[in-house]
Structure 1
Amino acid sequence: MNRLSIILPAKNEGAALKALLPRLCAIQPEAEIIVVDDGSTDDTCEICAAHEVRCLSSPYSMGNGAAIKRGARAASGDVLVFMDGDGQHDPADIERLLEKLNHGYDMVVGARDWGSQAGVGRGVANTIYNWLATRMTGHVIADLTSGYRAVRADKFREFLHLLPNGFSYPTTSTMAFFRSAYPVAYVPIKAGQRVGKSHIKPLRDGIRFLLIIFKIATLYSPLKLFVPASLIFFLLGSSNYAWTYVHDGRLTNMSTLLWSASVIVFLIGLVSEQITSLTYIRPHKP
């Protein structure tokens, strides 16, 4: 039987952990539970000690993704379960994730419904991410940004060098699994209200999440983003040339500039595709 490690990144989540850890220990008594304290200033470590849960502490905050990477490196289990330390994720859903994982999948993600989204803005953003990622990969992606997931440890560790230190580790890991042809499945879950205040800032992280859209493309297949962009520049240049030829009987610098931009964007896409392919080359183990 595979050994299970449950990893919870936490930053000042002491209030939530007081209620979450007893339930988690009762539901998964055989599992290794690791709380990665991301520079907390509350009693997170003391709460972990009281429940005999391993706590990895950082002297300062490095980010949610950094906590995930630290936990994955320290875990001894063959299967890793990641869940938030803020009380949103129900420990009872772990068995459902593991059951699906045993059907031949390498990653199983807890997919939130619309009622589980943290506000309308986040719900709309996640819907756009899911749609774009589905179009890019050709596979239905029910929840690209969910942090509740079960993965095979050896597969997940292959991509630790790709994971950012911030909040977009779920996006990066999901696209990396699809790119590497590791099967991914989704299990519907209900996420509750978090305990305490969210660490996500709408303005700062709104811009950061906007960059996720470009990361989706560059992590999977850059040409799927750059070819349409190149085509748009080419059509704009052709339209401008047709207009100026009919009215002035000549070729303008604007048409030439747009055509040049079309070629440059396409070439950038080709180079990006090659770089992306190199990113997923695994080093040979001696």
Structure 2
Amino acid sequence: MSEPKTYISIVIPLHDEEDSVAPLCRAVTAAMESADVRFETILVDDGSRDQTFARASDVASQDTRFRVVKLNRNFGQTAALKAGFEIAAGDIIVTMDGDLQNDPEDIPMMLQKISEGFDMVVGWRKNRQDSWALRKIPSRIANWLVRKSTGTTITDNGCALRAYRSEVIKRYPLYSEMHRLLPTILAMTGARMAELPVRHHPRQYGRSKYGLARTYKVILDLVALRMILTFHRSPLFGFGISGTVLGLLSMGVLITGFLQLLTNQGDVSLIYPGIGILLGSLSVSLLTMGILCDMIYVTGDTKMRPFRNSPLDA
């Protein structure tokens, strides 16, 4: 008896993509049927104001391999992906944009790479079909910042076409614009990652939902991610350094005030004691917070911990 085929879940966020829905679904179906895999496609309508939901529902009513999720307002791509991940039943989860710029024909190639033992495969839009000023330059700056600040080597963090093992991707919380940094998070916590050049087509319908503001959000998320991954193993270490520095400053200020009291024979300003007590209080607060965070980490959530004992175990 032959082994059962791997089940693939394809999660596609949609926002005001009414003209793209039908050709997108046809392209996905053709690519998956040619690859001879079992699959489901989850279309997540992220609060569209046009007929996106109606057209996605029409597709789902004719083909049970398509499912539709509707968010009651526009929450953003990260929230839409999270909604899709929560109901995805596949062993492998593939993500892609719904604007026809990603090519479903690249999915079989990514599945083949996953089967070689990787936990995720990230697409690289080598010949990107977007505006230099509004898309390519900000993207290159953001990718450079990610690589420099995290030590990872991912070329294109913004490419939506990716494939993940389900048990890996479902371990991690998603918020803000963190979907862009998922490969970085996974790579930094021990996942085996491969990157493949993929096709990228010009947008056929509608306008891009992305702009320079997204780059700013990514930078903020990158700062938050760096702090989380730097101090998550020992929060006391991070808070302890700051607390110790403030404690030493507090002692220095109080000693200065005491020496002033001795030299001025009682005529001393209250500034030194006030600042010293304030710095001391902040020091104690930071140390206490570090201890509490350490206790929470030891007894609580483990999502941000490395998920394999050996980098090569299956």
* Superposed pair shares fold, TM > 0.5: yes
Once the two structures are superposed, the pairs formed by residues 68-87 of structure 1 within 5 Å of their partners are 68-87=81-100
- Give the deviation of 1:40 after TM superposition: 1.4
1:142-187 superposed Cα distances (whole Å, 9 cap, x missing partner): 112221100011110100xx311x444121x123212320111111
CA distance in 1, matches of 2:46, 2:168: 24
- The corresponding residue for 2:121 is 108
* Equivalent residues of 1:112, 1:146 under 8 A apart: yes
1:164-223 superposed Cα distances (whole Å, 9 cap, x missing partner): 1x444121x1232123201111111122122311222434x3432331441452344369
1:181 to 177, 190, 201: 190
Which stretches of structure 1, 4 residues or longer, exceed 6 Å deviation after superposition?
Answer: 273-280
* Equivalent residues of 1:116, 1:190 under 8 A apart: no
Unaligned runs of 5+ in 1: 231-259
- Give the deviation of 1:137 after TM superposition: 4.1
* Equivalent residues of 1:168, 1:209 under 8 A apart: yes
2:42 to 21, 34, 38: 34
Unaligned runs of 5+ in 2: 233-237, 243-278, 305-314
* Equivalent residues of 2:127, 2:200 under 8 A apart: no
Identity of aligned residues (%): 27
1:66-111 superposed Cα distances (whole Å, 9 cap, x missing partner): 1101101111101000000111100000011111111111111111
Residue 212 to residue 122, structure 1, CA distance change in 2 (3 Å): farther
Structure 1-normalised TM-score? 0.73
CA distance in 2, matches of 1:127, 1:80: 26
CA distance in 2, matches of 1:22, 1:178: 33
* Equivalent residues of 1:113, 1:188 under 8 A apart: yes
Residue 178 to residue 277, structure 1, CA distance change in 2 (3 Å): farther
- 1:170 alignment partner, SS class: helix
* Equivalent residues of 2:135, 2:211 under 8 A apart: no
Give the CA RMSD over aligned residues. 3.6
* Structure label with greater radius of gyration: 2
- Give the deviation of 1:123 after TM superposition: 2.1
- Give the deviation of 1:124 after TM superposition: 2.5
* Equivalent residues of 1:98, 1:150 under 8 A apart: yes
- 2:93 alignment partner, SS class: strand
- The corresponding residue for 1:94 is 107
- The corresponding residue for 2:248 is none
